[in-house]
Amino acid sequence: MVRYTGAEVQRMEDPRLLTGHGRYVDDIHLPGMLHGAFLRSSHAHARIRSIDTSAALALPGVHAVFTQADLAVPDVAQSMNQLYPAPVIHQDITQHPMATDEVCYVGQTVALVAADSRAIAEDALVLIDVDYEPLPAVVDCRTALADDAPMAHIGSENNMAGQLKSAFGDIDGAFAKADHVFTGSFMQHRGGCHSMETRGVLARDEPYGEGLTIWSSTQCPYLVRRALATHLGEPEDRVRIIAPDVGGGFGPKAGFYPEEIVIPVAARQLGRPLKWIEDRREHFTATTGQRDQQWDLEVACDKDGKMLGLRGVVIHENGAYMPYGALLPFTSVTPLPGSYAIPALDVRLDIAFTNTTPTTPVRGAGRPYGIYAVERMVETIARELQIDPAEVRRRNFVRADQMPYETGAKLRDGMPVRYDSGDYHACQEKALELADYAGFKARQDAARTQGRYLGIGVSACIEDTGVGPYEGTTVKIEPSGKIMVRTGAASQGQGHHTMIAQIVSDQLGVQPEDIMFEAADTGKFPQGVGTIGSRVTANVGPSSFDAAGQVRETVLKLAAETLEAAEQDLELEDGEVRVAGAPDLKVTLGELALKLAPMSGGKIPAGFSPSLEATSYLGSSGSPVASGSNVAEVEVDIGTGEVRVLRYSVAHDCGNMINPMMVDGQIIGGVVHGIGNALFERMIYDEQGQPLTTNYGEYLLPLASEMPHIDIVHQETPSPLNPLGVKGAGEGGTIPAAPAIVAAIENALADFGVVIDYYPVDPQYLTELIDAAGAQAAE
Amino acid sequence: MADKREITVTINGQAQTAEVETRTNLADFLRHELELTGTHVGCEHGVCGACTVLVDGAAVRSCLMLAVQADGHEVTSVEGLAAADGTLHPVQEAFWKNHGLQCGFCTPGMVISVAAFLKDNPNPTEADVRSAISGNICRCTGYQGIVAAALEAAETMRQEG
Amino acid sequence: MKPGPFTYHDPTSVDDAVALLAGHEDVKLLAGGQSLMPMLNMRFVVPDHVIDLNGVADMSGIADTGDALAIGAMTRQCDLASSEIVAARAPILREALSFVGHFQTRNRGTIGGSLCHLDPAAEQPTVAAAYDAELTIVGPEGTREVAFAEWPLAYMMANLAPDELLTQIRFPYWQEAHGAAFVEFARRHGDFAIIGVAALLAVEDGKITRASVAVGGADVQPLRLADVETMLVGAAPGDAVFAEAGAMARKIDAMSDAYVTTQYRQRLAGVLVERALAQAASRATGGE
Ligand code: FES
Ligand code: FES
């Protein structure tokens, strides 16, 4: 009797957020609280000769100025822990909480001022005198690994941070027997993620030795707890991390940042709560994001465009430090070869240090790069062999009858990449139909008679979601009859409360409104992982389903005893258990809860444990792989180079959907991120490593006025890996967007023979390509 | 010595008097002096629109106004939009129904902007709405739910007169 | 990102404002605040004094003086955009304003603020250039008039002494039957244009009798394309002549920066001049 799971339930979170009653880090005011501001490196690379904080300290309203040397952490010489150690890392360089004698990117933390107000703290920043000795900086990843490149770090012998490879099959054989070999060389740029809420940390050292409480706008409170406790040499239970309402995450809030150690330590030393809220200009350089990858690929195929092998080299711009291991590089190459059955692969990725803000995953992590690369090669085949791009895909897709399908690639942990379920052919047909792909030629021709250039582009993607190992849930029935649900999973807007309430209310026969929800507080739920990689529904979904299911069993067993009825005659509905056909024979959930929570002298019924609750850490047995096909239709103004997205169609398969409305929200939001990557967002550094785009006039985020209406159709191929049949949906919108847009632009400009080798495709670049093509034609 | 002024601002119908440093912007005044934290700050340079409030009925960026400039004026923030009995404003109701928000951070500015826009443009097209909210950045929703909400709210408000 | 400390002044009359200007050093005048406030917040400017003009009487308003549209410097963009007089007498000002920021910024932003800030790509200065607008400046010595051609002195620097104040802008009417258009190209709705073009064309008996073409964003200040205007006068409006105008505009002196090359600015100037002229001509002859 499923009532809520699968329904478009309006979100439980919304009334609060719509009326201004959310509680984000900066909304929290604690008595005696001071305000922090960071002095950040103004150099991309420099030696610090000295730091003089005396003038800043003398400013009225300033309570303290901290440099790394002033931080009383056990080992001040220590740089920050590697969150994800991996053997592929050659130079495991992480930064200190605040710089000691070298800064390696603009924005790196150098000193902290704590003052009565943020304004005063900023007044003091300009009074801190840092004597820098500027050093040469390396900025462009394409030249960073050359012998004559400047070193990103003093003392390094080269800028190779690490190297990894994804290879399987007989690659030489594939190329030897190919009818065609095509090459592709292109640069990909993804920007920061720019959640509308910046980062922020508020810390209080609790009196009476109760430990530290930290509110952080993080996606991963348990990771922050682990890292901070390790640095402090304290038990994890003495460090409580709370992620309150968080205004968007998308990846960059998933790490552990210098500010998350500096602010708590400074608060402890000051004996007062201390708050630091990142401002938007800081966010551009202090918050990690993604940046450049240079891809040089070769694809081998037969005369029909069937791919036989893919090989090549990638250079990954890492930024100055490796706070997040090699997750971004890994997720760039392990999804290869995407939706296609290609028997052989050999792709190497070199990780290059540069003197820029470190990179970590942004929505999709490396997957958008990897999928874009494969899709580019598919487009190349279609263009060269004059085959419809959708048809090339049909000829190469992994077939539904091959599921579960092992690509041959290996995951980070050495396990094989396995696609659990899906029907990529059917999914693409749905997208093509939604986009009226068949009718496009007529639209294009009609537009051309008016001098307008329309184009259509197709893309396909897979997305490994729901990485383990767990994300637990506790479901407890209160004596009031209300259900308390707790989980570690932090939400940055995804709607976890609603999703979990739907699952739990179906199990327990209550309304979603009866469910109270607490999440992302390490003081309230013992262990968790975090909200990354589209993993929550595929982990918390099963755990909440299972925990509620266990409670349901207990409820029925206890009710059967109480009502002296057989379990199979019981109905659980409207918060009570009834005996079928005997409406007066019933007991409420609250009454049952009370039976398991007696006070002094009471008795627990035999065979039951105290408290009507259960905790489950059930997740998915493997990574459910979602898939999708997108179709973009664009118009290019060949005068200005402007690209307008006229129509955008998505067919997506994330298995069973708990709340289709929220899935659509994830997809649409994700597509718009992808369009931002494809057309707008560009983080520009100059040759000295100075960031040039550090405000929202210069760094262009997608606005409503330029975004298309997005049509979505779902295919629901259940995942066999969890009892709900769900897969993650958080990134499947973003991953295929750039390749669809870029293909559509090329299609619009096919007469000019334009081939795009860089995104974001800005209009200036496009006019240069059009002009170059025109010049070539004239020759 | 910090330059300070005593100001009186009518906020959501209630006159509030406070002393502020003159360099304090209206957003920070609302958030940190009055602890009306519904108004959000996303950029502090006038682009994201998260801080949008009504001043004398007109939608403005509260990060681009000094609190002293609101002295003697009326300010409506997101907290003042719903009816006194808690009934949501039609724009809020429509956002809820149409999944016009995810993280909720852009939402107060978005809701205020849409409400102000619809007051002057009761019968907008989708394109009108998209251009009207182009001064408010949302990173979560891709705008589609917001556009749908604005169109639905317009209809509700037309019917309600 | 909070402003540095300053002393705030809120005069209520032009005389008071001028006296305050005379009495203080390192002053910033606060008009609508849509450009100054971000610069204060980011500490790009850290003045000792801020003089707020929002409470000054008699600095805003829109009047039809018979031969010109007279606009108080503190008139807000929203009021200009909704003004019947503007719609009737200088419709391209209204057209240009639809590209200026967003309705929330137009509710505060003023025309005088924009003309004093002089962002190279801003729309209002480009329209002022096309109209040969006249500006009234008040200072300790009294009042002086400046033609818009003499107004920009350098990159974002107006012909305004530290102790002076812009109080009024006049757009002289074209007496001839004419059409006008403002077109621009910006990456996104409401962004500063990369290139904006204001064009006015008077057409009589199938011939262009008067032309004004101003291009914003190409150089540090709006440029009038005198050669194009000369070429147009006497010609019959039509695709060929506008294409020629576009080709001439492609040779405009244009700057380059980290985002936009000279060549692209020139290309846009050409494309947009052609489009603006076509639209202006169509409107001159009763079309859209
Ligand atoms: S905070 Fe005011 S516009 Fe962004
Ligand atoms: S709902 Fe998150 S920014 Fe709009």
Q: Are residues C74 and C37 in the same domain?
A: no
3-state DSSP assignment of residue C267: helix
Asked if B103 and A248 come within 8 Å (Cβ–Cβ), the reply is yes
Name residues whose C-beta falls within 8 Å of residue B148's C-beta, 6 or more positions apart in sequence: B94, B98, B100
What stretch(es) of chain A map to CATH 3.30.365.10? 421-465+624-779, 468-616
Name residues whose C-beta falls within 8 Å of residue B59's C-beta, 6 or more positions apart in sequence: B52, B53, B112, B113, B116, B117, C103, C104, C107
Task: Tell me if chain C has a CB within 8 Å of the CB of A642.
Answer: yes
Question: Which residues in C lie closer than 8 A to residue B61 (C-beta atoms)?
Answer: 34, 104-105, 108
Instruction: Please name the chains neighbouring B, where neighbouring means 3+ C-beta pairs under 8 angstroms.
Output: A, C
Give me the mean pLDDT over the B112-136 stretch.
98
In this prediction, residue A583 carries a pLDDT of 84
Report yes or no: A88 and A163 within 8 Å, Cβ to Cβ. Answer: yes
Question: Nearest 10 degrees: CA dihedral of A473, A477, A480, A484?
Answer: 0
Tell me: the pLDDT tens digits for A332-382? 999 999 999 999 999 999 999 999 999 999 999 999 999 999 999 999 999
pLDDT over 70 at A1, yes or no: no
Asked if B69 and C52 come within 8 Å (Cβ–Cβ), the reply is yes
What are φ and ψ of residue C210, in 5° steps? -155, 145
Taking each helix axis from N to C end, the angle separating C262-284 and C239-249, rounded to the nearest 10 degrees, works out to: 150
Name residues whose C-beta falls within 8 Å of residue A340's C-beta, 6 or more positions apart in sequence: A307, A374, A378, A393, A396, A397, A398
Tell me: the pLDDT tens digits for B1-31? 689 999 999 999 999 999 999 999 999 999 9
Residue A43 Cα, gap to closest chain C Cα (Å): 18
Q: Are residues C101 and C12 in the same domain?
A: no
Helices and strands, number each (H, E), in chain B: 5, 5
The correct CATH number of A421-465+624-779 out of 3.30.70.20, 3.30.365.10, 3.40.718.10, 3.40.50.2300 is 3.30.365.10
In DSSP notation, A192-220 reads: ----SS--EEEEEE-GGG--EEEEE--S-
pLDDT over 70 at C87, yes or no: yes
Q: Are residues C47 and C71 in the same domain?
A: no
Give the number of the atom of ligand 2 that is nearest the alpha carbon of residue B146.
4
Taking each helix axis from N to C end, the angle separating A660-675 and A737-748, rounded to the nearest 10 degrees, works out to: 50
Least Cα distance to C224 among C152, C126, C158 occurs for: C126
Place of tokens 């985020």: A701
In this prediction, residue A778 carries a pLDDT of 62
CA angle A288, A292, A293 (to 5 degrees): 125
Distances, alpha carbon A705 to alpha carbons A564, A681, A701, B54, B133, in Å: 64, 16, 11, 22, 8
In this prediction, residue C124 carries a pLDDT of 98
Tell me how many domains chain C contains.
Answer: 3
Helices and strands, number each (H, E), in chain C: 11, 14
Question: Which residues in A lie closer than 8 A to residue C42 (C-beta atoms)?
Answer: 281, 695
Question: Which residues in B lie closer than 8 A to residue A670 (C-beta atoms)?
Answer: 142
Report yes or no: A147 and A365 within 8 Å, Cβ to Cβ. Answer: no
Report yes or no: C245 and C273 within 8 Å, Cβ to Cβ. Answer: yes
pLDDT over 60 at A34, yes or no: yes
Report yes or no: A45 and A136 within 8 Å, Cβ to Cβ. Answer: yes
Q: Are residues C216 and C259 in the same domain?
A: yes
Residue C267 Cα, gap to closest chain B Cα (Å): 27
Omega prior to A252 cis, within 30 of 0 = no
In a domain, C85, yes or no: yes
Tell me the CATH number at C21: 3.30.43.10
Q: Are residues C168 and C255 in the same domain?
A: no
Which residues make beta-bridge pairs with A317?
A352
C5 Cα: distance to centroid of ligand 1 (angstroms) = 20
Place of tokens 């709705």: C189
Q: Are residues C225 and C256 in the same domain?
A: yes
pLDDT over 90 at A76, yes or no: no
- DSSP label at B88? P
In a domain, C223, yes or no: yes
3-state DSSP assignment of residue B144: helix
Q: Quote the ipTM score.
A: 0.98
Task: Tell me if chain C has a CB within 8 Å of the CB of B91.
Answer: no
Least Cα distance to B26 among B74, B70, B57 occurs for: B70
In a domain, C105, yes or no: yes
Pocket test for ligand 2, best of B43, B98, B113, B139 (most atoms within 8 A of CB): B139
Report yes or no: A14 and B96 within 8 Å, Cβ to Cβ. Answer: yes
Q: Is B108 in the pocket of ligand 1 (CB under 6 A)?
A: no
Structural domain harbouring C119: 62-172
Question: Which residues in C lie closer than 8 A to residue A702 (C-beta atoms)?
Answer: 188
Distances, alpha carbon B94 to alpha carbons A668, B91, B115, B118, in Å: 18, 5, 11, 13
Last residue of a domain, one of C172, C206, C230: C172
Tell me: the pLDDT tens digits for A172-186? 999 999 999 999 999
> How many Cβ atoms from other residues are within 10 Å of residue A1's Cβ?
7
Using alpha carbons only, how large is chain A's radius of gyration in Å? 28
- Domain A468-616 fold is Aldehyde Oxidoreductase; domain 4 (3.30.365)
In this prediction, residue A41 carries a pLDDT of 98
pLDDT over 90 at B108, yes or no: yes
- d(CA A546, CA A141) in angstroms, rounded, equals 47
Tell me: the pLDDT tens digits for C9-36? 999 999 999 999 999 999 999 999 999 9
- d(CA A490, CA C222) in angstroms, rounded, equals 51
> How many Cβ atoms from other residues are within 10 Å of residue A401's Cβ?
7
Q: Are residues C242 and C157 in the same domain?
A: no
Report yes or no: A736 and A375 within 8 Å, Cβ to Cβ. Answer: yes
In this prediction, residue A121 carries a pLDDT of 98
Place of tokens 């792909």: A437
Report yes or no: B154 and B118 within 8 Å, Cβ to Cβ. Answer: yes
Question: Which residues in B lie closer than 8 A to residue C48 (C-beta atoms)?
Answer: none
Residue A664 Cα, gap to closest chain B Cα (Å): 9
For all residues of chain A together, what is the average pLDDT? 96
Q: A463-484: buried (b, 16+ CB within 10 Å) or exposed (e) per residue?
A: bbbbbbebbbbbbbbbbebbbb
Asked if B64 and C37 come within 8 Å (Cβ–Cβ), the reply is yes
Asked if B139 and A18 come within 8 Å (Cβ–Cβ), the reply is no
Name residues whose C-beta falls within 8 Å of residue A145's C-beta, 6 or more positions apart in sequence: A158, A159, A160, A315, A350, A352
Nearest CA in chain A to C268: A640
pLDDT over 80 at A512, yes or no: yes
Asked if B65 and C37 come within 8 Å (Cβ–Cβ), the reply is yes
Name residues whose C-beta falls within 8 Å of residue C251's C-beta, 6 or more positions apart in sequence: C266
Give me the mean pLDDT over the B142-148 stretch.
98
Last residue of a domain, one of C141, C172, C203: C172
Tell me: the pLDDT tens digits for A550-562? 999 999 999 999 9
Distances, alpha carbon B7 to alpha carbons A526, B16, B20, C5, C40, in Å: 48, 8, 7, 18, 21
Least Cα distance to B160 among B104, B80, B83 occurs for: B83
In this prediction, residue C134 carries a pLDDT of 98
Give me the mean pLDDT over the A94-112 stretch.
97
In this prediction, residue A411 carries a pLDDT of 86
- What are the tokens at B122? 């009761």
Q: Are residues C83 and C140 in the same domain?
A: yes
Least Cα distance to C266 among C227, C218, C224 occurs for: C218
Task: Tell me if chain C has a CB within 8 Å of the CB of A764.
Answer: yes
Q: Are residues C77 and C148 in the same domain?
A: yes
In a domain, C162, yes or no: yes
- d(CA C35, CA C31) in angstroms, rounded, equals 9
In this prediction, residue A75 carries a pLDDT of 62
- d(CA A298, CA A309) in angstroms, rounded, equals 8
pLDDT category of residue A473 using cuts at 50, 70 and 90: very high
- Cβ under 8 Å to B: A residues 423-452: none
CA angle C118, C120, C121 (to 5 degrees): 115
Q: Is B109 in the pocket of ligand 1 (CB under 6 A)?
A: no
Ligand 2 site, CB within 6 A? A 196, 247-248, 493; B 101-107, 138-141
pLDDT category of residue A170 using cuts at 50, 70 and 90: very high
Name residues whose C-beta falls within 8 Å of residue A36's C-beta, 6 or more positions apart in sequence: A112, A113, A114, A115, A118, A121, A263, A266, A274, A275, A276
Residue type at position A192: G
Chain A and chain C share a number of CB contacts under 8 A equal to 59
Tell me: the pLDDT tens digits for A203-256? 999 998 899 999 999 999 999 999 999 999 999 999 999 999 999 999 999 999
Place of tokens 């199938």: C206
For a pLDDT cut of 90, what percent of chain A falls above it?
A: 94
pLDDT category of residue A326 using cuts at 50, 70 and 90: very high
- d(CA B67, CA B69) in angstroms, rounded, equals 5
pLDDT over 90 at A644, yes or no: yes
Q: Are residues C248 and C147 in the same domain?
A: no
Name residues whose C-beta falls within 8 Å of residue A237's C-beta, 6 or more positions apart in sequence: A211
In this prediction, residue A77 carries a pLDDT of 58
Q: Are residues C155 and C254 in the same domain?
A: no
Report yes or no: A558 and A567 within 8 Å, Cβ to Cβ. Answer: no
Q: Are residues C46 and C82 in the same domain?
A: no
- What are the tokens at C232? 């147009």
In this prediction, residue A414 carries a pLDDT of 85
In this prediction, residue B161 carries a pLDDT of 75
Q: Is B149 in the pocket of ligand 1 (CB under 6 A)?
A: no
- d(CA A588, CA A699) in angstroms, rounded, equals 57
Tell me the CATH number at C202: 3.30.390.50
Report yes or no: C114 and B71 within 8 Å, Cβ to Cβ. Answer: no
Dihedral sign for Cα A543, A549, A553, A556, please: positive
Q: Which domains does chain B have, with CATH numbers?
A: 4-79 (3.10.20.30), 90-160 (1.10.150.120)
